[in-house]
């Protein structure tokens, strides 16, 4: 028997088949279509998106001893499944007694939960709170750190000066004086404009090393001007800034930096281990003296107001600023941002640099004791009691490169007029707003219109 279908029935069947095919296409598992494991899609669909934030009620990150401080961690779950796990609190530093505390938690999908930990601050210093969230079944943790300061202007660390410290620097400065500076000044017409004339300056420093910088002089030089010597961070290249038409600006590059690499190469960027076997050969002996030579140059100019000479730098440049102000009484104002080269013993307790470990391990005669002895001659903390000019230091409270503890160990040894500024949420860098603020401070100090 033969069955026949009508035209309408055939049309209905075709539509049914097409519908089934379309349903199969649009509802197929994409990973299967691509040859992937369907279980991966399920994992992806149920993945939770977590964000951990950490804050404290310490005003601007600072507080006093014997004060109750509250830390608040917020864990936001923007995924589609509840999350369970543990929150762990750990504290290091001088705020005690909390050391380690763990509690189980649950955060529903689309919710944010807050977790609070309180401490009573101990002695002056800095303490770091670490909050970690570990999801059940996972070995990886989500982490947030926050550092607070406790009366940092009361921090004191023992000096590490060697018995011949003063004689060492007296001898070094006298050696520099025996080297004729042989200044060479060349105008850079492509960098000058109708407001500022720009010159490249070359001079001889300790060991006859050639060093250079960029001098910017107001074109309408009808009077004496304040001068600012800018010194570089580690490996930084100081260049003209084209900013001031009522100040002289000298952007100076010590040996191995910027345009001062003719005699001392900048690469590899390993300045802090160059010549470290002995104080007489260490890189920073020469570079500190280079900065004094920069002051020599500025002090030699008739268009500079000799009572208004500032030195300013950040990171390594902050250490240079401290050292230059300490070794040269002609400096009238010192600006040190996030300063490096401060309290080496504490520095290596708070940071870890494989480069230094490898340098020490590279030779049998090297050890930490001898290394720290050499470094002690170049510790801004040991030089700080020589700084008599007004000094301004600024630090990033969350800085892990130059921890503020080390900065204050140098700053607190300065006997003269001084002030500091702390940026509670900044690390190793303070931003353009800080730079603008420092210029305003210099203008005010030099009695210039803002």
Could you give the CA distance from residue 202 to residue 290 in angstroms, rounded to a whole number? Answer: 12
Give the integer Cα–Cα distance in Å for 128 and 98: 11
Tokens encoding 216: 């910017």
User: Is 151 considered catalytic here?
Assistant: no
Q: Which of 251, 399, 409, 434 is catalytic?
A: 399
- Write down the catalytic residue from 127, 287, 315, 376: 315
Are the CB atoms for 101 and 117 separated by under 8 Å? Answer: yes
Has 300 been annotated as catalytic?
Answer: no
Q: Are 211 and 203 in contact (CB under 8 A)?
A: yes
Confirm whether 127 is a catalytic residue: no
| Catalytic residue ranges | 315, 399, 428
């Amino acid at each position: 028997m033969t069955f026949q279908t009508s035209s309408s029935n055939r049309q209905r069947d075709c539509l049914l088949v097409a519908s089934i095919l379309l349903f199969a296409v649009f509802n197929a598992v994409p990973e299967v279509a691509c040859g992937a494991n369907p279980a991966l899609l399920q994992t992806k669909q149920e993945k939770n998106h977590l964000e951990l934030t950490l804050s404290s009620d310490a005003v601007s990150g600072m507080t006093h001893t014997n004060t109750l401080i509250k830390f608040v961690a917020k864990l936001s779950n923007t995924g589609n499944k509840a999350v369970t796990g543990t929150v762990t609190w750990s504290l290091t530093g001088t705020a005690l007694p909390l050391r380690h505390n763990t509690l189980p938690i649950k955060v529903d999908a689309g919710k944010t939960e807050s977790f609070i930990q309180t401490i009573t601050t101990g002695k002056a210093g800095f303490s770091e709170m670490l909050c970690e969230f570990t999801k059940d079944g996972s070995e990886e943790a989500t982490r947030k750190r926050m550092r607070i300061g406790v009366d940092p202007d009361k921090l004191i660390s023992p000096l590490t000066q060697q018995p011949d410290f003063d004689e060492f620097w007296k001898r070094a400065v006298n050696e520099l004086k025996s080297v004729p500076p042989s200044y060479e000044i060349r105008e850079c017409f492509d960098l000058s404009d109708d407001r500022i004339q720009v010159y490249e300056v070359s001079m001889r420093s300790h060991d006859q090393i050639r060093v250079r910088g960029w001098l910017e002089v107001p074109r309408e030089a009808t009077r004496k001007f304040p001068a600012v010597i800018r010194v570089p961070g580690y490996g930084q290249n100081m260049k003209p800034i084209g900013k001031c038409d009522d100040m002289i600006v000298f952007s100076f590059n010590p040996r191995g930096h910027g345009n001062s690499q003719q005699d001392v190469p900048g690469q590899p960027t390993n300045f802090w281990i160059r010549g470290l076997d002995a104080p007489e050969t260490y890189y920073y002996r020469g570079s500190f003296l280079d900065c004094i030579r920069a002051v020599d140059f500025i002090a030699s100019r008739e268009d500079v107001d000799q009572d208004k000479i500032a030195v300013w730098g950040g990171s390594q440049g902050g250490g240079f600023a401290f050292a230059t102000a300490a070794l040269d009484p002609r400096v009238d104002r010192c600006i040190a941002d996030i300063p490096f080269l401060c309290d080496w013993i504490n520095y290596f307790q708070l940071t870890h640099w494989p480069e230094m470990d490898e340098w020490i391990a590279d030779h049998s005669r090297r050890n930490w004791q001898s290394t720290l002895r050499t470094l002690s001659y170049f510790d801004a903390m040991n030089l700080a009691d020589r700084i008599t000019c007004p000094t301004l230091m600024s630090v990033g409270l969350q800085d892990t490169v130059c921890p503020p503890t080390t900065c204050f160990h140098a700053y607190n040894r300065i006997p003269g007029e001084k002030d500091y500024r702390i940026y509670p949420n900044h690390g190793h860098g303070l931003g353009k707003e800080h730079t603008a603020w420092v210029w305003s401070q210099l203008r005010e100090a030099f009695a210039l219109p803002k």
